[in-house]
Amino acid sequence: MPSTIPLRDAIKRGRGARPALIWRSAGVRLALAAFPLWCTAAVLILWTPWRLKLLVGGVASLAFASPAAGLLATALLAPFGATLQTLLGVPYRMSEAIVLAFLAGWLLRGRLDPRGPALPSAMAAAGWLLALTVVCSIAASAFALAQYPGLLPQTARDLLQAYYIYPDRVGVIEGARLLEGLALASATLFVFRLRPSIAVSLPATLCVSGAAAATLAVLIWRDIGPATLVERYARLGYRVAHVGDPNAAGSYFAMLVCLALGMAGRASGRARAGWMALVVTNAVGLWFSESRTAIAAAAIAAALAAAWVRSGHWTRRARIAALGMVLVVGIGASFGRAKLLERDPTFRGGGFRQQFNATSFRMIAARPLSGVGIGQYYQTSSLFLSPRMAWIYGFENAHNYFLQVAAELGIPGIALFLIWIGAAALVIARALARVADPRLLGAAAGVLALLITCLTSHPLLVNEVAFSFWIQFGLALGLAESSLMNAAPLADHPQAGARRRKFWPVAALTAAAIVGAAAVRVARGPVEPPRSTVVDGLYEWETAEDGRRFRWTEGYASLFVPADVTRVSVPARVPIDRRAITPMGVEVASGGVLLGRTRVGDSWTTLVVALPEMSPPAKLKRIDLKVDRTWQPALYIAGSADLRDVGVQVGECELER
């Protein structure tokens, strides 16, 4: 039984439907195209290497002439942005340049299909509201930057003249990546409706691109290939070549292994042999990434897909129970392995992930409605990391993409993102329940595998991986909708218009709330670290026998000072003269960089700390302390009942600007 109906006929049945707003209004379409069009034109007009002009101009021209061909070129080239940057010798974000060139050409082409991307109503509404959330978040960050004379105009000039090498201050780059992903998924669905044959050619292009990346990794591992890539491998020791993050590379290969398996399940003869070769090659890339999470995610997604196929003739209740059992076993095995790893003294990832999650929850609690700002998590993390994590990392991302979105865009932002994903997942689930299409099952399993890895890493912060994911996401939705086209298309359903009209009041109220939350964020001013021992590692203030105020440190402790402070004098001592305790070594760091080490005895010693410059709009600097050992005063000081684990006493600091 064919798994899809002829899409041309389905599209013709929808010709009488009211076109989507983007195709009804040339003004709206050109407004959406303005940003990608300017970024593409800037590459072509301003001084850039001719090879870069040829690449970007070629993709834009191809997308304008044939959106399907432009999408295939984007799917093929986007995973190699970092590699192209190295080969061309230009410090550009090449993957983003390729994607924006495609989007510019696609939007300028116009209304080939008057219905546009057939997104479910809830998904479309969530997408537009999420875009509004991102724009308001950037605007709030820009308002904060405007307090520094000259910085906001300079930022605007950087955006206009050198976007692809722009040092981000207000979250434009991170926000653009998310919105470009939504646009890329919508464009993929649009092209799928226009050219149903990409149901085969697009998966082939994605998997061939992954196979090329895996082959490149093997060659670089064997010291074969461009000298710069070989040197980077030798320096970092990563067995992946096309991206610098091995966990993100693992997520990418896990997604493509599932996709290739699904395509192999539908093919036959030589075509199946070709798909199996792509399965093996991408599996080699997955193995080379050495990402435990990605390998486990691929196994869980494949097991769920296999259970879905095997249970096709079962009742719905039995099928759900079987799938739930597979999921529980997979998650249980993952947790069991995590517990074993935590007991391994050579492995520290599991415990650190728990602390990263705690950091994210503290950040969410600080700004639950507006978030700290898109693209601001990394810089803001120094205010919320535990003292030990701040000592090791200085600054770090969330290592959980969903928590990172929640921290940056607030609870409304993550809710809209999950609605966008969830609405598509419902369509895919309905289609899989109706027709067992191996292509759809493989594409959906790949999307699921990558989303699983987002729970412990952030592959969608890596352009080369994120853009491939959104293309496959749109492909899975397109395959699902083609399976459901036997029924009247959503836009032609007699109740569809009424449902859409009900969305408008809710969407308007949500939009007003988003704008209001951004305004409240601006009014509240910069975020501050929570006053808690889990963040600063300092106990409450006490008074010494000489009248000096002090605080005990734990094994790790942190001090926060204004960003304009250049030098800090920190008095410290250990109020006991015992060989087992004193002198106590105290190391000082800031931003993950060691600044010095001082031995502290039973008299007050001043630690003089010269602090590095901080880029606006940062308001605080963090000074991290690490002591050689902790001890309990009750065991060493007569008459003391203090059983706390303490390090040294830290007095009131003197600040120099």
pLDDT digits (tens, 9 = 90+) for 51-106: 889 999 999 999 999 999 999 999 999 999 988 888 888 888 999 999 999 999 99
Instruction: Kindly tell me if the per-residue pLDDT of 321 is higher than 70.
Output: no
Tell me the torsion sign for CA atoms 269, 272, 278, 280. Answer: negative
Under the banding of pLDDT at 50, 70 and 90, the label for residue 146 is confident
- 498 has a pLDDT exceeding 80: no
The H or E element containing residue 465 is helix 463-483
d(CA 608, CA 9): 76
How many angstroms separate the CA atoms of 411 and 405, rounded?
A: 9
> Does residue 319 surpass a pLDDT of 80?
no
* Strand bridging mode 542-543 / 620-627: unpaired
Rounded to 5°, the CA angle 628-634-639 comes to 135
The model's confidence at residue 316, banded by pLDDT at 50, 70 and 90, is low
DSSP state of 381: G
489, 338 Cβ separation under 8 angstroms: no
* Bridge partners (DSSP) listed for residue 567: 610, 656
Highest mean pLDDT among 221-230, 303-312, 347-356, 512-521 belongs to 512-521
H/E stretch holding 594 reads: strand 593-600
pLDDT of residue 236: 66
Residue with the bigger pLDDT between 437 and 323: it is 437
Residues 560-588 have pLDDT tens digits of: 999 999 999 999 999 888 887 888 999 99
Task: Give me the percent of the chain exceeding a pLDDT of 90.
Answer: 55
Quote the pLDDT of residue 345.
Answer: 45
Burial class from Cβ neighbours inside 10 Å (0-12, 13-18, 19+) for residue 234 reads: exposed
pLDDT bin (cut points 50, 70, 90) of residue 537 is: very high
Using CA atoms of 5, 11, 17, 22 in order, give the dihedral in degrees to the nearest 10: 120
* CB-side neighbour CA atoms (13 Å) of 133: 33
N- to C-terminal Cα separation, the chain: 76
Whether the CB-CB separation of 125 and 154 falls below 8 Å is answered with no
Residue 46: pLDDT over 60: yes
Rounded to whole angstroms, how far apart are CA atoms 314 and 206?
A: 33
Architecture of domain 536-656 in this structure: Sandwich (2.60)
The span from the CA of 402 to the CA of 398, in Å, is 9
Maximum distance among all alpha carbons in the chain? 90
- What residues contact residue 275 under an 8 Å CB cut-off, 6+ apart? 207, 260, 261, 263, 264, 267
Distances (CA, A) of 169 to 144, 368, 376, 378, 618: 10, 22, 8, 11, 10
Which of 256, 258, 247, 255 is CA-nearest to residue 456? 247
> Could you tell me which residue, 441 or 24, shows the higher pLDDT?
441
DSSP secondary structure code for residue 315 in this structure:
-
| Residue whose token pair is 């308007």 | 508
**Confidence (pLDDT) at 609:** 92
pLDDT by residue (tens digit) across 223-275? 887 777 777 776 666 677 788 889 999 999 999 999 999 999 988 889 999 99
Please say whether the beta carbons of 148 and 161 come within 8 A: no
Mark out the alpha helices in 584-645 (DSSP H runs): 633-636
In the chain, the percentage of residues whose pLDDT exceeds 70 is 85
Two tokens, residue 621: 């600097």
- The one-letter code for the residue type at 509 is L
| pLDDT of 4 | 42
Find the helix packing angle between 438-453 and 198-221, rounded to 10°. Answer: 50
pLDDT, mean of residues 447-467: 95
Q: What's the mean pLDDT in 144-154?
A: 87
Return the pLDDT at 617: 82
Mean of the per-residue pLDDT values for the chain? 86
For 429, the token pair is 């689930």
Hey, where are the domains in the chain?
A: 201-347, 536-656
Q: 90 vs 84, 254, 655, CA distance in Å?
A: 9, 30, 42
Say if residues 260 and 438 touch (Cβ distance below 8 Å): no
Which tens digits make up the pLDDT trace of 581-614?
888 999 999 988 899 999 999 899 999 999 988 8
What phi, psi does 596 have (nearest 5°)? 165, 175
Instruction: Give the model's pLDDT for residue 235.
Output: 67
CB 216 within 8 A of CB 241: yes
Instruction: Give 1's pLDDT tier (boundaries 50, 70, 90).
Output: very low
Contact at 8 Å (CB) between 188 and 471? Answer: yes
Helix segments in 343-400, DSSP class H: 349-366, 377-380, 387-393
Helix (H, G, I), strand (E, B) or coil at 209: helix
pLDDT in tens, 110-133: 666 655 457 888 898 999 999 999
| Residue 637 φ/ψ region, left for φ over 0, alpha for ψ in the -120 to 50 degree band, beta for the rest | beta
Looking at residue 11, what is its pLDDT? 42
Least confident of 27-31, 449-453, 475-479: 27-31
Q: What does each C-alpha distance from 143 to 135, 140, 164, 411 come to in angstroms? A: 12, 5, 23, 22
| pLDDT over 60 at 302, yes or no | yes
pLDDT score at 337: 52
- Residue 631's pLDDT is 92
d(CA 374, CA 204): 34
**Mean pLDDT, range 638-649, rounded to an integer:** 89
pLDDT at residue 149, as a whole number: 87
In what helix (H) or strand (E) does residue 217 lie, and over which residues does it extend? helix 198-221
Over residues 329-358, mean pLDDT = 61
φ and ψ at residue 619, rounded to 5 degrees: -105, -20
Query: Between these two residues, 446 and 582, which has the higher pLDDT value?
Result: 446
Within 189-344, strands assigned E span: none
Instruction: Say if strands 584-590 and 605-610 run parallel, antiparallel, or are unpaired.
Output: unpaired
- The DSSP bridge pattern shows strands 649-651 and 549-552 to be antiparallel
pLDDT at 490: 46
Q: Please answer whether residues 94 and 56 qualify as being in contact, where contact means their C-beta atoms are separated by less than 8 angstroms.
A: no
pLDDT at 474: 96
Tokens for 498, please give them.
């009424």
